[in-house]
Amino acid sequence: MRRPLILSLLVAMAIGMPPFVLAQGPPINSDTPILLGLEGKAVMLRSMFLSKSQLYQEGNKIPDPLDRSVRATVVPVVVPYNVTSDLLVGAVLPLVNVRSRSTGGSATSTGLGDVSIFAKHVLVQIDDLQETFRILGKASLKFPSSNKRLTPPLGTGSWDISFGTVAGWIGKRFGLYGDASYTFNGSSDSHSYGNTFIYNATVGFRLSPAEYETYPSTQWNLYLEALGKYTEKDVVNGISNENSGGHTLLLAPGLQWIPSRVLLAEVAIQLPGLESLNGTQLGTDFVVVAGIRLLLY
């Protein structure tokens, strides 16, 4: 008779734990189905540095006589809040610095990017001893808050709406995550942006501790993420832009450190696995992501 009671108590404790101190923390780049907990609040501060300098033509690398490159640093400030135990809302405020260069010169822009708001709702939650499986639905709305008229622009200047789903299984030391979303991109100044389908898959492993002697304990987590994105071609003044859209897949190993119940630090690098771009475009060299997440209760 005691075993069901003990099991129920352990499950209840796991449900009440902050998401940072479960078997492992949330994925670094892709989404997580684990919410913050009732009335939980958090702030995520990170820096993303992106480099593009390799020119592609129909998916093949070619030399660039103009020696073009783009370097961008994005600092998205993410503020989520749990309205109920299964509903989370939040906002993303990106601070952006972009520098473009070619043989003709260079230009730099700095400022606020396109702000977005989002919501997540738990659809399925199955908890067991030392493991959980969850599925949630999500939606987001992006505002044209950036200055598109700068060179280079800081955003698209369009209203975009996105719908998707996130699933994840977290066991004793392993975690498997997946998410997919479709974005209906809007238009600005006769420029209609191609819709986007995003799909991500993640494997997580708790490096340390192998076994908990005290709970919670300092964690080290290792992640390997596959980040896919397919974008349709843009349409400008009613004419399809053949040098836009395509399919990319980035592979992102990362390391995460959780020293306490309320603090998380992480770093990852995204490297191109697939660059199938339409027409002639610059492809991604790499993306470096580093940041912290802080729980506020």
Domain architecture of the chain: domains with CATH: 2-296 (2.40.128.130)
Specify the pLDDT at position 243.
Answer: 96
Each residue's pLDDT tens digit, 94-113: 999 999 999 999 999 999 99
Low-confidence ranges of the chain (pLDDT < 70): 1-23, 37-39, 215-216, 297
pLDDT score recorded for residue 142: 97
Confidence (pLDDT) at 13: 33
- pTM, entire model: 0.89
Residue 38 has a pLDDT of: 59
pLDDT value at position 267?
98
The CA–CA distances, whole Å, from 107 to 48, 50, 75, 133, 281 equal 20, 16, 20, 48, 19
